A and B are shown apart, each in its own frame.
Chain A
């Protein structure tokens, strides 16, 4: 372990500065990526990014700093800076110190040994296969293919001076992403798809390519939708975009405590129909958002946010948890060692007890709009939950059948009102990355009386 060698130096420095509470966070990410651009393997990238973030408490105030160099002299400099930051801060009455203990829960399948040995060439081959699979759709109107294959190996360590212990983990992550453009008779359509797994051997280029290409090609046929209220089927990709800027920020304790969440006063209230539960579970075996501990060394957990329609809990890191004198939910994550932990979901599960088989879903909906992606979700008002977005890759559902693409449809609502319009869901779950971090695992979700304008 990397931190082990630095701990004696750290302890000495803490004594010199008269600091009792400190935490070191080390991360190293090694990544290989090969990108496709306009129907060819185009660029490759290899990178190593590593360093240490330090948090410490001086005069009851929290200081943070970081260093990319692991030498004792750099650590000394970083400690000094963190002390300075703490001293220059105003006193925060809600800050109750760093976690007293660190701990990990066993979560298996987050590391795949063979993935750590993958070469640039192997990543390149996977990207090339992705491309070939997509190019099969040329005759059907596919115009161009973009995408990437990527693997990363992430090492993390957390040392906590209060417990005097260190925990560590190594995880692997592999992904394929594709973006395709189709064109016929002057009509253009785009679509995208992902596959994210822990093991490089498990990502499936054929599935990713066909998923995006089928969707883009189907959008080449035009259809007309009338504005008004419609049945709306949202794909998990569309939900991930919408939830990242509406529902999920509203379920972070930091937003709730700052009164910037539309759900701030809704604990115990029904916020979605009773057949739905929403759970953040960082402990799923092989889960792409799972971990055995968060970036503050707090054990990962399952947090039931919404239980059978009722809002039960919010996501916490140690700061927001201590402010309410409760345990953290283990959702304190950092973008890298350069930043302080903020609250971020892990695996967000949409669990439904009102399910229609996926193969019969459009038949059940009869008439409406199916939408795979939305644009403009980041313009939502996080504090109030108001949003106004454009449906993209949307298709008409007519007499139970999926028809051509409808364009320029806007959807505007308040997330609290919108969630109450859910009537049932599909069955199979798709994993979609959340822009705020973490992953959404959701089936297709059907809303009734959604207000759209064209």
Chain B
């Protein structure tokens, strides 16, 4: 349940901050009750349960920001954090060569409580360990070739207040549960592996037997297929990406470049390109924070601004960036609620929420039917992007050769790379199916829940790196 005490702490901090002659103070107070279990090959290797409480204060004074936090809500800590943050902002303002303001915005007062039938904070630790062990056992028993299984189960019940001297006061309560399953299959000295995360806003009622069965089946079957994988060719190919990998491309290569902090800092390949055609007309990409109850979505951002659905690319034309109050002022646009912080211990920065490409009208068969020799890439083990140069690299979780319109041989450890702008132009067909996946996005040392996804995608001239 929402921790009522933190609202009082936020009010006390607001009163202290109001006396400091600042241009703005953003106060965030939170209580987060969480548990995490790391279950590897039949054993609990780590089990943690804890309560995290703290206050973080971002102050703004004459174009400069100060930030301070403490993991304590004592009266002394509140004072120390507000004073410390104000002092830093005032010092930095003497050094800063930049004229900045925070964009005008409507301050909201609201209370959003997301109920869970089985709130994580009310489920016993024993039951959670039992669940992790059941997932483990199911994967282990799935096939005799499954040689290693790791289950990461974690949950949190987070109460959070964002209060600003501009008048915002938002109280939030959000429970989350998530499981990551990692499976290794071994046969005749060969290895295959697969990993997948599922996650929900809500409590343990969301981790149904059906969800778990599907997760186990998916991971085990994919790991087993990898046992037969062959080294992949290298070079330029026509490639088909599945929904998950499309989502990763959209998030990593396009979404990050649309984050206005990178844009104004000259670190984005999409800077100064609003209104320009940067992608195939088939491409529409959206970052939507407003989908109620969705992992990664949120009604208000951590600057207290109401969030929006942002159409980043509309039929190939770059339309919008994701903004916080500072970048909105710099770019002279309406704030669109894109500032998020991992926790009280971090200042809000520009982030994505639920980012996806809109589906088109091709069936999967239509996507592959005219490919003589190409590659079908599924999922992503991760990737990396340089948003300034617009280069990206992703490793697929699994890959297959496409020969004469048919999916044939599974391939080993395949990665794709390229230039974002070229790749967006090289989209030649967009599938009609649609899926969203859950995950976490890391930026500047902060990790926040996000969703990404889209349809299967056909791209020409993609650079594929393999070992053959």
Given contacts A44-B67, A120-B88, A188-B388, contact A383 B193 (CB under 8 A): yes
Q: How far is the CA of A69 from the CA of B51 in the complex (A)?
A: 11
B465 at the interface (CB under 8 A from A): yes
A64 at the interface (CB under 8 A from B): yes
Q: Indicate if the CB atoms of A124 and B50 lie closer than 8 Å.
A: no
Q: How far is the CA of A38 from the CA of B266 in the complex (A)?
A: 8
A37 at the interface (CB under 8 A from B): yes
Given contacts A90-B133, A383-B191, contact A144 B234 (CB under 8 A): no
Q: How far is the CA of A411 from the CA of B413 in the complex (A)?
A: 12
Given contacts A44-B92, A88-B124, A388-B465, contact A408 B46 (CB under 8 A): no
Q: Indicate if the CB atoms of A412 and B389 lie closer than 8 Å.
A: no
Q: How far is the CA of A81 from the CA of B50 in the complex (A)?
A: 9
Find chain B residues with CB under 8 A from A190 CB.
386, 388-389
Mask of A109-138 contacts with B, CB within 8 angstroms, 1/0: 000000000001100100010000000000
A42 at the interface (CB under 8 A from B): yes
Given contacts A124-B92, A375-B393, contact A388 B413 (CB under 8 A): yes
Distance in angstroms from B255 CB to nearest chain A CB is 17
Q: Which of B15-23, B286-294, B377-385, B429-437 contacts A (4 or more CB under 8 A)?
A: B377-385
B224 at the interface (CB under 8 A from A): no
Find chain A residues with CB under 8 A from B84 CB.
46
Which A residues between 228 and 277 are near B, CB-CB below 8 angstroms? 254, 258-260
Q: Indicate if the CB atoms of B125 and A88 lie closer than 8 Å.
A: yes
Distance in angstroms from B228 CB to nearest chain A CB is 15
Which partner residue on chain B sits nearest A95 by CB separation?
B43
Q: Indicate if the CB atoms of B412 and A90 lie closer than 8 Å.
A: no
From A45, A381, A451, name the one whose CB has the most chain B CB atoms within 10 angstroms. A45
Mask of A187-204 contacts with B, CB within 8 angstroms, 1/0: 011100000000000000
Q: Indicate if the CB atoms of A49 and B148 lie closer than 8 Å.
A: no
Q: How far is the CA of A411 from the CA of B65 in the complex (A)?
A: 41
Q: How far is the CA of A68 from the CA of B417 in the complex (A)?
A: 44
Find chain A residues with CB under 8 A from B383 CB.
376, 379
Q: Indicate if the CB atoms of B95 and A41 lie closer than 8 Å.
A: yes
Q: Indicate if the CB atoms of B44 and A413 lie closer than 8 Å.
A: no
Find chain A residues with CB under 8 A from B389 CB.
188-190, 407
Distance in angstroms from A343 CB to nearest chain B CB is 12
Q: Indicate if the CB atoms of B66 and A43 lie closer than 8 Å.
A: yes
Find chain B residues with CB under 8 A from A64 CB.
46-48
Q: Which of B5-13, B69-77, B159-167, B300-308 contacts A (4 or more CB under 8 A)?
A: B69-77
Q: Indicate if the CB atoms of A144 and B40 lie closer than 8 Å.
A: no
| B interface residues, how many (CB within 8 angstroms) | 77
Mask of B159-201 contacts with A, CB within 8 angstroms, 1/0: 0000000000000000000000000100000010100000000
Find chain B residues with CB under 8 A from A47 CB.
68-70, 345
Which partner residue on chain A sits nearest B192 by CB separation?
A384
Q: Indicate if the CB atoms of A90 and B44 lie closer than 8 Å.
A: yes
Distance in angstroms from B232 CB to nearest chain A CB is 9
What are the nearest 3 A-B pairs in CB distance?
A379-B395, A44-B88, A388-B415
Which listed residue (A69, A87, A227, A260) contacts B148, Cβ 8 A?
Answer: A260
Interface residues on A, range: 35 or more
Given contacts A45-B88, A381-B193, A408-B391, contact A258 B148 (CB under 8 A): yes
Find chain A residues with CB under 8 A from B41 CB.
258
Which listed residue (A48, A338, A408) contacts B418, Cβ 8 A?
Answer: A408
Which listed residue (A37, A88, A388, A413) contacts B414, Cβ 8 A?
Answer: A388
Find chain A residues with CB under 8 A from B124 CB.
88
Q: How far is the CA of A143 from the CA of B46 in the complex (A)?
A: 46
Which partner residue on chain A sits nearest B419 by CB separation?
A408
A66 at the interface (CB under 8 A from B): yes
Find chain B residues with CB under 8 A from A389 CB.
393, 415
Q: Indicate if the CB atoms of A392 and B96 lie closer than 8 Å.
A: no
Given contacts A65-B50, A390-B384, contact A144 B267 (CB under 8 A): yes
Find chain B residues with CB under 8 A from A378 CB.
382, 384
Q: How far is the CA of A61 from the CA of B68 in the complex (A)?
A: 39
Which partner residue on chain A sits nearest B80 by CB separation?
A48
B360 at the interface (CB under 8 A from A): no
Which A residues between 50 and 99 are near B, CB-CB below 8 angstroms? 50-51, 63-66, 68-69, 81, 84-85, 87-90, 92, 94
Mask of A265-297 contacts with B, CB within 8 angstroms, 1/0: 000000000000000000000000000000000
Which B residues between 121 and 157 are near A, CB-CB below 8 angstroms? 124-126, 129, 133, 147-148
Q: How far is the CA of A441 from the CA of B191 in the complex (A)?
A: 32
Find chain A residues with CB under 8 A from B234 CB.
227, 410, 412, 453
A34 at the interface (CB under 8 A from B): yes
A339 at the interface (CB under 8 A from B): yes
Which listed residue (A42, A65, A410) contacts B64, Cβ 8 A?
Answer: A42
Distance in angstroms from B225 CB to nearest chain A CB is 15
Which listed residue (B54, B264, B266, B395) contacts A388, Cβ 8 A?
Answer: B395
Find chain A residues with CB under 8 A from B193 CB.
381, 383-384
Q: Indicate if the CB atoms of A260 and B465 lie closer than 8 Å.
A: no
B89 at the interface (CB under 8 A from A): yes
Find chain A residues with CB under 8 A from B365 CB.
none
Q: Indicate if the CB atoms of A66 and B412 lie closer than 8 Å.
A: no
Q: How far is the CA of A90 from the CA of B128 in the complex (A)?
A: 12
Find chain B residues with CB under 8 A from A375 CB.
384-386, 391, 393
From B49, B125, B393, name the one whose CB has the most chain A CB atoms within 10 angstroms. B393
B98 at the interface (CB under 8 A from A): yes
Q: How far is the CA of A40 from the CA of B96 in the complex (A)?
A: 6
Given contacts A44-B88, A340-B46, A383-B191, contact A37 B384 (CB under 8 A): no
Which partner residue on chain A sits nearest B46 by CB separation?
A340
Find chain B residues with CB under 8 A from A43 CB.
64-67, 88, 92, 347
Q: Indicate if the CB atoms of B384 and A48 lie closer than 8 Å.
A: no
Q: Indicate if the CB atoms of B49 and A85 lie closer than 8 Å.
A: yes
Q: Indicate if the CB atoms of B95 and A124 lie closer than 8 Å.
A: yes
Which partner residue on chain A sits nearest B191 by CB separation?
A384
A181 at the interface (CB under 8 A from B): yes
B87 at the interface (CB under 8 A from A): yes
Given contacts A42-B98, A120-B88, A453-B463, contact A65 B44 (CB under 8 A): no
Task: Name 29 A/B residue pairs within 8 A (Cβ), A-sorted.
Answer: A34-B92, A38-B266, A40-B97, A41-B64, A41-B96, A43-B66, A43-B67, A44-B67, A48-B80, A64-B48, A65-B50, A66-B48, A66-B50, A68-B52, A85-B49, A88-B125, A89-B129, A90-B42, A260-B184, A375-B386, A376-B395, A376-B417, A384-B191, A384-B193, A386-B412, A388-B395, A390-B384, A407-B389, A410-B465
Which partner residue on chain B sits nearest A32 by CB separation?
B88
Which partner residue on chain A sits nearest B93 by CB separation?
A41
Find chain A residues with CB under 8 A from B47 CB.
63-64, 85, 88-89
B117 at the interface (CB under 8 A from A): no
Which listed residue (A65, A339, A381, A413) contacts B49, Cβ 8 A?
Answer: A65
Mask of A361-404 contacts with B, CB within 8 angstroms, 1/0: 00000000000000111111101101111101000000000000
A439 at the interface (CB under 8 A from B): no
Given contacts A65-B49, A81-B49, contact A42 B65 (CB under 8 A): yes
Q: With A46-B85, A88-B129, A376-B384 given, can you name 10 additional A-B contacts, CB distance below 8 Å?
A: A42-B65, A43-B88, A81-B50, A88-B126, A124-B92, A181-B267, A340-B46, A376-B393, A389-B393, A392-B391
